[in-house]
Amino acid sequence: MMRPFRLSPLFIALAASLPVVAHADDSSATKEGFIDGSSLTLDLKNYYFNHDRHDGKQDSKEWGQGFIGVFQSGFTQGPVGFGIDANAMLGLKLDGGGGSGGSSILPTTAPNPNKSNLYGDAPDSFSSAGGAVKMRAFDTVLKAGDLFLNNPVIAGGASRMLPMTFRGFSLNNTSFDHLVLDAGQVSFDKLFNQSGNGRIGTYYGVLPDNGESKHLSWAGGTYTGIPGLTSSLYAAQLKDIWNQYYYDLDYTWALNDLVSLNPGLHYYRTQDSGQALLGSIDNNTYSLHFGVTVGHQSLVTSFQKVNGNTPFDYIQDGDSIYLDNSQQYSDFNAPGEKSWKLQYGYDFAGWNMPGLTSAVSYTRGTMDLTKASNAADSGYNYYYNADGSDAKHWERDVDLKYVVQGGPAKNLGVRLRWATNRGGEGYKTVDHNIDEYRVIVDYPINIF
């Protein structure tokens, strides 16, 4: 077993000395002046989520309106600049009572003993606010406080009505051409349907009573120095749970103005660490994809494999699963699972309707759940199924999106998503026969 990965004091000192730039979407880092470089955005997100179960269990149907305000200052002038970021979020329940809660866009409450619903009634509203201080020295930006993060080992979920945030610090560096370095440590997160912060958990693991991770540390980088090629390498440690390593390689080869090819690889290596609160983990998971784009049409096929008797796991409710077969409903990441996907996409700009895009995909997975971990101390032993030697499931996804291209409603987006997942008798999950419908209206406004 490899030694546990730790961010040593020497590493922290070296990382702090590197020149860093903010993320690509943090335009304030390129402007001089605390006020001149500042921006304020308001995102209005209306979200309908219908989780239609076919196993006799209660359906979840919720509708809400989200407001996400984000302020980013510029940096004070001089060799070392300082600034602040702030965010405020409000979620309103438009519908979701009468026992239909639990879709995940609204908070869950304790069940009402006088009702048959599993999740109780969501509150009429929930809100949060946070901020971070930041410092820029040469090519380095240090942020401390409430952070929006997006990398392969820790990415805040942005697929619900409100986004996730993390509390800790991050460092970003662009000293070298075409190379972005990234490091940090966070101890708390705010889930997308919650107001307060809690300790970081995992999506699929069941921690023992009173068990919790103290923090997650990471370091990595992304290289784009070869035209058409992007490659990333990351290492992370979720204290007392796992060490996780990630590598990807993605290449777009333009044969001519009409046709391009896109092969790629994503790879994760996960091993238990420290107190191993989720038990023994020895898992490597990868996906391979190959895409062809001809004009406004694209066709992608992918293969994914989980090697290990535990599932591929990642941060709770986040998006830090950069695997090709992670779909709207299922991640196709059960112990030992192998899956394939075929996806077709069309950009309706080819029919003189710019802003309208679509995608249809079919994914199928098979696994032997008799080989899943059944150890008493495993946080994943619920996957074990003595009758699951030939477990299988499939998912069909349809995605249609339109973004207004101009006028007063420019950037207003309307997205329709439909997922159908069906599983065989040997495939045991909470819901394996479902249809899931989402309607998302998203209107980002740049105030200044």
- Of these ranges, 21-25, 156-160, 425-429, the one predicted with the greatest mean pLDDT is 156-160
Per-residue pLDDT tens for 97-114?
656 667 788 887 655 544
Using one digit for the tens of pLDDT, what is the confidence trace for 234-286? 999 999 999 999 999 999 999 999 999 999 999 999 999 999 999 999 999 99
CA angle (327, 88, 137) in 5-degree steps: 90
Record the pTM.
0.89
* Model pLDDT, residue 431: 64
Q: CA separation (Å) from 443 to 46, 87, 302, 320?
A: 9, 17, 32, 25
Per-residue pLDDT tens digits for 165-215: 999 999 999 999 999 999 999 999 999 888 889 999 999 999 998 788 889
**Cα–Cα distance, 448 to 440 (Å, whole number):** 25
CA distance 248 to 233: 7
- pLDDT value for 445: 95
Contact 119, 49 (CB under 8 A): no
Distance CA 407, CA 20 (A): 37
**pLDDT score of 81 more than 70:** yes
Q: Which fold has domain 9-446?
A: Porin (2.40.160)
- Residue 2 burial class via C-beta count within 10 angstroms: exposed 0-12, middle 13-18, buried 19 and up: exposed
Q: Over the stretch 312-356, which tens digit does the pLDDT of each residue have?
A: 999 988 899 999 999 999 999 999 999 999 999 999 999 999 999
Could you give the CA distance from residue 94 to residue 92 in angstroms, rounded to a whole number? 6
**What's the rounded mean pLDDT across residues 72-99?**
90
Q: What is the rounded CA–CA span in Å between residue 446 and residue 333?
A: 38
Convert the pLDDT of each residue in 23-36 to its tens digit: 334 433 445 789 99
Domain boundaries, the chain: 9-446
